[in-house]
């Protein structure tokens, strides 16, 4: 990337170039601190002219540009920021590189999240459907069926696709995510997400998580985590719990502002990569590295 890479660049006005440089510097610094993350390459071209940091930078420009898919973000970068990326590969090569960088993206997201998360032992857990097609196609849908997509149901009705489960700090920082088939029970994933929490942590969830005779004692005995829902809490605490739970809804709303409902990928890898990039962008905004999106 030919834009200046020093930290002094970040003292300028909030422009697209400013945010592009912020993303590149953050990503490039992390990659240099963790050189083993580039060992996924099997070819002799272990140091490509178009760097991994540049790949992630372009992918993160999608919400900044305000477009609904990665291809439009790639084309905008190619047409208007060619000087910043003189070695830009084809779109197919760009997508292949982005998918291969999934472990790096996950580690970068977690590093920033852990650094920016607030203090306290109160956490939130919830899930939302990720449809891969519109309801009108439910009768004949086959997309991603052999990769785990299935029918699920929530308050809004039936959908076909996956379900995104999130674990977040009470301040809204995302600390864990799992993508499952749409028919998986939320309670089956809760234990896996809560595994990394410290003992005596409080996990706030909706009533669906509490309607299980196994989950609550499992969390308490194995991890020392207390599961709390509004309906089973003392009346004087219910308004507070509802207020805290709204923050996980806000997190999902931020994802939808990043076109989560328009991710119609042709493969599970593509879908998960797109979701991870939205999580990384949200985390960068939450940490103050990028400018938050307009509501």
Mean pLDDT of the 283-287 span: 88
pLDDT digits (tens, 9 = 90+) for 211-236: 666 788 888 888 888 888 877 777 77
Task: Provide the greatest CA pair distance for the chain.
Answer: 64
Mean pLDDT of the 63-85 span: 89
Using the predicted structure, report yes or no on whether residue 8 has a pLDDT greater than 60.
no
**Helices 102-116, 16-33: crossing angle, 10 deg rounding:** 100
Lookup: tokens for 128: 């939302």
| Domain residue limits, the chain | 7-100, 118-265
Mean pLDDT of the 108-123 span: 88
Q: For position 2, what pLDDT does the model report?
A: 45
Q: For position 262, what pLDDT does the model report?
A: 67
pLDDT digits (tens, 9 = 90+) for 91-103: 999 999 898 888 8
Q: Of 66, 52, 294, 86, which is closest to residue 76 (Cα–Cα)?
A: 66
Q: For position 22, what pLDDT does the model report?
A: 85
Residues contacting residue 129 through CB under 8 Å, at least 6 positions apart: 152, 154, 156, 159, 161, 162, 163, 164, 182
Which class does domain 118-265 fall in?
A: alpha beta
Q: Indicate the pLDDT class of residue 13, thresholds 50, 70 and 90.
A: low
């Amino acid at each position: 990337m030919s834009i200046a890479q020093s930290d002094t660049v970040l003292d300028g006005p909030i422009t697209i170039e400013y945010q592009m440089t912020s993303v590149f510097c953050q990503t490039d610094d992390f990659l240099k601190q963790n050189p083993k993350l580039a060992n996924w390459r099997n070819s002799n071209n272990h140091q490509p002219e178009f760097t991994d940091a540049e790949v992630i930078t372009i992918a993160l420009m999608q919400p900044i540009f305000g477009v609904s898919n990665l291809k439009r973000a790639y084309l905008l970068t190619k047409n208007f920021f060619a000087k910043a990326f003189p070695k830009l590969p084809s779109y197919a090569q760009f997508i292949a590189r982005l998918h291969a960088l999934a472990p790096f993206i996950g580690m970068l997201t977690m590093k920033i999240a852990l650094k920016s998360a607030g203090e306290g032992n109160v956490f939130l857990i919830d899930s939302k459907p990720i449809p891969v097609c519109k309801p009108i196609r439910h009768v004949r849908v086959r997309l991603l069926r052999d990769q785990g997509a299935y029918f699920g149901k929530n308050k809004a009705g039936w959908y076909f696709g996956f379900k995104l489960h999130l674990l977040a700090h009470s301040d809204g920082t995302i600390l864990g995510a799992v993508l499952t088939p749409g028919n998986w029970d939320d309670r089956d994933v809760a234990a896996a997400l809560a595994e990394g929490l410290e003992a005596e942590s409080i996990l706030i969830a909706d009533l669906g998580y509490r309607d299980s005779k196994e989950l609550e004692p499992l969390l308490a005995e194995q991890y020392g985590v207390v599961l709390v829902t509004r309906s089973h809490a003392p009346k004087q605490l219910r308004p507070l719990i509802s207020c805290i739970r709204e923050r996980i809804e806000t997190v999902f709303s931020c994802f939808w502002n990043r076109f989560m409902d328009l991710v119609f990928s042709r493969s599970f890898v593509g879908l998960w990569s797109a979701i991870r990039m939205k999580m990384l962008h949200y985390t960068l905004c939450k940490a103050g590295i990028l400018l938050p999106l307009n509501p």
